Chains A and B, each alone.
Chain A
Amino acid sequence: MASTALLRRVLALPPHLRRSVYSSATTYHGASQPDIYDVVCIGGGPVGLSFVSALRSHPSTSALRVALIDSQDLSTARTTKDTETFSNRCSSLTPASLRFLKQIGAWEHAKKERTQPYHAMDVWDGVSGSKIHFDSVDQQQTGLLDAVAEMIPGSRFQASRRKYEVEDVGVATMCENANTTSALLQRLHELDEERSKDRLIFDMLEKTRVESIDLGPESKDKESLDLSQWPIVTTSHGRIAARLLVGADGANSPVRQFADIPSPGWDYNQHGVVATLDLDQQSTAQNLRTAYQRFLPTGPVALLPLPGNKASLVWSTTPQHAAKLKTLSRPDFTAAVNAAFRLMPLAWRENATPAASTGLPRNFPRIASVQEGSIASFPLRMRHADTYTGHRIALIGDAAHTIHPLAGQGLNLGLADAEYLAQRIAYGVDHGMDVGSCWTLDGYNSDRWAKNNAVIGVVDKLSKIYGVGSGPVVWGRSAGVEVLERLGTLKGWMMGAAAGVK
């Protein structure tokens, strides 16, 4: 009948969504009507929590009925009281990310004594010793991104060009993910208290596993409510229907799988080894701190400052080497990290190598020891979803993209997604839009996809240029690093990346 064809057109979905929609629509057998929410966010990581906090803080969206689902017990994500131990999951937050966290009222709940701003970054090439020093003054240069866009063929960096926000915070601020997460949880709690009269509108469903996501039932007749194009989330606690289902559910995103959105990419054949380190240098809050990164043939190794004499290690290396490192005793691990920063890769004997010729920065600290139980590793991959949106679907954070950690951008891109999606939803609410429709979501997808793709492309190319141990690429890249040190413009680019171009 004509009306069936009409219905299909009326509810037209992007082609890549259609398959899953029609296949699952027929398999659903629902008895009772699901509970209806405006926004259901799966994933209570830093990205999901900041997205929900942004919605709850904004006057236009604070009345939306929102549910946040996570399989974990989020209250255990709190940081320890002990100032002597730090989590190995730290991220460097850019000034743009900090501004967002302040704006939604979360940053004031973060434990500042556990965060560490840094003001400069030293990067050097482990094979040739060429080096490049970045500091926050470089950020103010203009045209940096253009320079890089020219440098790196195929990079779409120009698309994301924007003026930097120059703030007092330096390059970036190191913060444990748990510190960010617990600040966001406190903020959500505070918002709940403020609005206790309409408590019904926000539900935090912790320790709740998503069992399945399907489309709603076909309606029984031609008069009643038709949820056949609404995602229905079945959890251990029941079924809820989402006007907009947001996947903040990490790299293996169940939401992305439900929406059948491809997320192509590749594995770097590297693992990131993380650990919390003790340094031989003690700093105070007044000291200016520097982050260090050395490119080795096996991948970059980075030392990021934490308060006092602490630092966070991110060492990208071969899976075999990573596995070996994890089996080492703490003193041996410490020696291996010192070697990674100080030795020529092929020599591996410190006293045989004059420090200056390796490119080692002056004042580079010596690692004294590694915090017990802090060594962990994770595989590195590049993934970028073909689209961030579908009918009643949006992806944010690692669900939408995962990148190499060398520029410390993973979480920052995710926070920018959260901020922008929440803004689009506020605009949609103010203009009477269905916030699950393409009229609300298209703007989010087009804006964030292009910006993230530019960053992802540059980070991926850098990781490839620096992932090769010998031959013309090494020669080419060290020449490149030296030329750029003099030019100053590429420095600005990496600063821009590290400081978060909004």
Chain B
Amino acid sequence: MRLLIASTTKPYTTATTPQPPESSVNHTEVSHFSALAASWWDPYGSSRLLHLMNPLRHDFLRRCLSASPPDPAQKLDILDIGCGGGIFAESAARLSMAQSVTAIDPTPECIAVAKRHQRSDPLLMEAGRLNYLQTSIEELHNHTTTANSAGARGDREMKQYDIITLFEVIEHIRRPYPFLSSILPHLKPGGWLIGSTIARHPVSWFTTKLMAEDVLGLVPRGTHEWSQYLIPGEIREWARREAELNTSEGLGWRTMGVVYVPGIGWREVRGSEEVGNYFFGVRKRGDGV
């Protein structure tokens, strides 16, 4: 069998744990990951699999939005949590449907790399199109409310987004449910929270811990904490407990399992969401939906 379930979690990522009043950022992990910052935009570096996966993120996003397609004239505000070097954030900011992308990561080196790369694209340098912030989700309102106070309506509450993305992040979070819940106030009614992660399953232990870290060394050892992985059912259970989320299949809840096939690339494989990499999307109720 040449079919592998690949581990492509980010080589470094946000390590946000919601434990106020202390900073939610785990500094050991932040410094561990920042050492790898140079490789984000190297096409043959350790982020290659993430680059290759990026188109599928867009395919999945579009599939979620198809539940009730937004009016093309209405441009969307997007928040990307754990943006790393900006692979998804940049691509989202180029979409014709995007009004703005706010991309956050607590690792300073990530934000530095992301900003440096942003400068090589005049489109992304247009005012307001792509904003990187070195922050955690808990601190975000401190940045955006000030940034937004000059906005049209002078919002008293924190800025809300049409789409919030969370790619390859929650497997690094020690207490994922409070973390997920802390995101919801940032989501507009009717908006989608979209993420990707790896399911906890013997297969994913084999591929992401044993093969990717120990045997092949594709990603640094300690990148994954297999026991923290969530299976799709667990995320859906969390979503059902959140009254403001719509979890009915297709309209408010979606998953898509993807598999990396060496030599071919990432492919959607039905059912694989139970054993390896998968996307999930869940929608906030409201605005007539």
Give A residues with C-beta under 8 Å from B.
Answer: 3, 5-7, 9-12, 36, 63, 219, 222-230, 241, 243, 427, 429-434, 438-439
- 10 nearest CB pairs, A to B: A432-B91, A431-B55, A432-B94, A226-B119, A10-B41, A431-B58, A6-B38, A438-B43, A225-B125, A432-B95
- CB-contact partner of B42 in A9, A36, A63, A225, under 8 A: A9
Assess whether B119 is in contact with A225, with CB atoms less than 8 Å apart. yes
Q: Is the CB of B54 within 8 A of A10?
A: no
Tell me if B91 and A433 are in contact (CB < 8 A): yes
Which residues from 31 to 51 on chain B have a C-beta closer than 8 Å to any C-beta of chain A?
A: 37-45, 51
Q: What 0/1 pattern do residues 62 to 104 of B give for CB contact below 8 A with A?
A: 0000000000000000000000000000111111100000000
- What is the bound-complex CA distance between A433 and B41, given in angstroms? 13
A36 to B37, CA, bound (A): 29
Q: How far is the CB of A6 from chain B (nearest CB, A)?
A: 5
A-B residue pair count with CB separations less than 8 angstroms: 71
Contact of B42 with A432 in the complex, beta carbons under 8 Å: no
Asked whether B38 lies within 8 Å of A5 as measured between CB atoms, the reply is yes
- B249 in contact (CB, < 8 A): no
Nearest neighbor of A7 in chain B, beta-carbon distance: B116
Cα A230 to Cα B38 in complex, Å, equals: 21
Determine the main DSSP class of B at the interface with A. helix
Chain B residues, CB < 8 A from A226 = 119-120
- Which chain B residues border A427 with CB–CB below 8 Å? 55
Within 8 Å by CB of B119, from A12, A224, A241, A438, lies A224
Q: A434 to B38, Cβ gap below 8 A?
A: no
| SS of A interface (majority) | loop
Q: How many angstroms from the CA of A229 to the CA of B93 in the assembled complex?
A: 20
Residue of A whose beta carbon sits closest to that of B56: A431
A227 to B125, CA, bound (A): 12
A225-B122 contact given A6-B113, A431-B54, A438-B43, CB 8 Å threshold: yes
Give the complex CA separation of A226 and B120 in angstroms: 5
B43 and A10 contacting across the interface, CB-CB below 8 Å: no
What is the CA–CA distance of A224 and B117 in the complex, to the nearest angstrom? Answer: 11
Complex Cα spacing A226 to B91, Å? 18
Task: Considering the complex, give the chain B residue whose CB is closest to the CB of A10.
Answer: B41
B121 within 8 A of A: yes
Q: Can you name 22 A-B pairs with beta carbons within 8 Å?
A: A3-B116, A5-B38, A6-B37, A6-B38, A7-B116, A11-B41, A12-B41, A12-B43, A225-B119, A226-B119, A227-B120, A431-B55, A431-B59, A431-B91, A432-B54, A432-B58, A432-B92, A432-B94, A433-B91, A434-B90, A434-B94, A439-B51
Q: Is the CB of B122 within 8 A of A11?
A: no
Residues of A within 8 A of B121 (CB): 243, 434
Q: How many whole Å from B285's CB to the nearest CB in chain A?
A: 28
Are B94 and A10 in touch, CB under 8 angstroms? Answer: no
B residues 106-122 near A (Cβ < 8 Å) are 113, 116-117, 119-122
For A10, give its contact among B51, B55, B91, B113 (CB under 8 Å).
B113
* Residues on the A chain within 8 Å of B117, using CB: 10
Instruction: Write the nearest CB–CB distance from A240 to chain B, whole angstroms.
Output: 12
Give chain B residues whose Cβ lies under 8 Å from the Cβ of A224: 119, 125
Q: Pick from B37, B43, B120, B122: contact of A439, CB below 8 A.
A: B43
Q: Are A430 and B120 in contact (CB under 8 A)?
A: no
Chain B residues, Cβ within 8 Å of A431: 54-55, 58-59, 91
Cβ contacts under 8 Å, B55 to chain A: 427, 431, 433
Partner of A63, one of B51, B91, B96: B96
Question: Can you name the residue of chain A whose Cβ is closest to the Cβ of B43?
Answer: A438
Provided the pairs A6-B38, A9-B39, A10-B38 are in contact, do residues A432 and B93 lie with their beta carbons within 8 angstroms?
yes
Q: From A12, which residue of chain B is reached at the shortest CB distance?
A: B42
| 18 additional A-B residue pairs with CB within 8 Å, beyond A222-B116, A432-B92 | A5-B38, A6-B38, A9-B38, A9-B39, A9-B42, A10-B41, A11-B120, A12-B43, A36-B122, A219-B119, A224-B119, A226-B120, A228-B120, A431-B54, A432-B54, A432-B93, A438-B43, A439-B51
